[in-house]
Amino acid sequence: MVSIRVAAAPVSFGVFELTASGNGLPAADSVLDAVVQCGYQGIDLGPAGYLGDLDSLRRRLADRELALAGGWLEAHFADDVLLQRELETIRATLDLMAAAATNGAWRPKPTLAVTGDARRRSAIGQAAHRTDLALDEDGWRRLVKNLRVVVELCRERNLEPTFHHHLGTFIEAPEEIERLLEATDVGLCLDTGHLLLGGGDPVKAWHDWTDRINQIHVKDARLAVMRSVMTDGCDMTEAWRRGIFCRLGDGDVDLDAFIAAVSASDYSGWVVVEQDVIPDSSTPFEALVADQRRNREFLRARGW
């Protein structure tokens, strides 16, 4: 029998690594209060420092009876030199997550992703049919070797990681995901939106990789926006600005079929709702909250 908890993410309120250094972000306490009011049971960590230091993070979560579901850790796994420079930050983030974690099955999962190069970032959604964008064999060797190092850092802290495929990174297309799974033992964070836009079918992916999926990011996406982004040669930032991700049920992901497939399984773990947005200054915080309330209601109406 399926056993899930549903979490929210700061990115749905416009807070993530791209926007973290900007002005006008909603206060962490406001986001956490909204997450509780909308009916979520957990939250992802968000960019470094957003939810505070360890003491602040623990207090904020405990006061609201929220659990930490995961945290984004993108790194240059395919580049030995750059990864070495990132390891200190990676260790610090993992230490924070481990110290703030609840015990048992609902411990947070570090969400690992591999940074792409400039070509990948400027050709999002095209890896499935452009072999010239792929990592070469040396790149794959470095990726697998370095990923294993960070996976071990996670496990040393009693944290089981999950790997997130993502537009504009070196793991985007279904074939790239498959190769990564064959070469490693890391679990997969299946993101319904990124998979659709990367050329995949979330329902097929669920059936193909069920035994490796240990985290789900449920997300809806608009193929028409994807087509415009590809035509114009836009990067991920512009895709976000154009609203490539939308409220659950408003896009092109067959979420009813996906939810039915997961519900018929014995999956046990977090489902994190994400609606990546870069709100402009005219977007009221209340509108972002309303979207996340509706997303939670969408899932609740389908048994989640």
Q: What is the pLDDT of residue 166?
A: 98
Helix 255-263 × helix 202-209 angle, to 10°: 20
Q: How many domains does the chain have?
A: 1
Distances (CA, A) of 69 to 1, 62, 122, 239: 21, 14, 30, 26
Q: What is the pLDDT of residue 22?
A: 65
Three-state SS for 157-207 is CCCCCEEECCCCCCCCCHHHHHHHHHHCCCEEEEEHHHHHHCCCCHHHHHH
Nearest to 147 by CA among 165, 126, 124: 165
Q: What is the pLDDT of residue 102?
A: 82
110-114 mean pLDDT: 99
Q: What is the pLDDT of residue 17?
A: 78
Q: Which residues pair with 109 in a beta bridge?
A: 70
CA dihedral 52, 61, 245, 193 (to 10 degrees): 110
Q: What is the pLDDT of residue 86?
A: 98
Q: What is the pLDDT of residue 21?
A: 61
CB within 8 A of 284, min separation 6: which ones?
none
Which two tokens mark 192?
A: 């319904």
CB within 8 A of 258, min separation 6: which ones?
192, 202, 203, 206, 218
Task: Specify whether the CB–CB gap between 258 and 202 falls below 8 A.
Answer: yes
pLDDT tens digits along 34-60: 999 999 999 999 998 999 999 999 999
CA dihedral 154, 25, 19, 166 (to 10 degrees): 50
Q: Is the pLDDT at 213 greater than 90, yes or no?
A: yes
What residue spans of the chain are helical by DSSP H? 28-37, 54-64, 80-100, 118-121, 137-156, 174-183, 192-197, 202-209, 223-232, 236-241, 255-263, 285-300
pLDDT tens digits along 60-76: 999 999 999 999 999 99
Compute the distance between CA of residue 174 and CA of residue 189 in angstroms, rounded to an integer: 13
pLDDT tens digits along 125-164: 999 999 999 999 999 999 999 999 999 999 999 999 999 9
In the chain, the amino acid numbered 201 is D
What does the chain come to in residues?
304
Q: What is the pLDDT of residue 223?
A: 98
Q: Are strands 213-218 and 187-191 parallel, antiparallel or unpaired?
A: parallel
Q: Which residues pair with 218 in a beta bridge?
A: 273
CATH code of the domain covering residue 123: 3.20.20.150
Residue 108 structural domain: 3-300
pLDDT band at 208 (very low <50, low <70, confident <90, very high): very high
In degrees, rounded to 5, the angle at the alpha carbon of residue 166 between the alpha carbons of residues 163 and 167 is 165
In the chain, the amino acid numbered 120 is R
Q: What is the pLDDT of residue 5?
A: 97
Q: What is the pLDDT of residue 16?
A: 85
292-304 mean pLDDT: 99
Q: What is the pLDDT of residue 263?
A: 98
Task: Quickly count: other Cβ atoms within 10 Å of residue 237's Cβ.
Answer: 13
CB within 8 A of 286, min separation 6: which ones?
none
Compute the distance between CA of residue 302 and CA of residue 147 in angstroms, rounded to an integer: 36
**Burial class (CB within 10 angstroms; exposed 0-12, middle 13-18, buried 19+) of 228:** middle
Distances (CA, A) of 84 to 25, 87, 91, 111, 129: 31, 5, 11, 19, 32
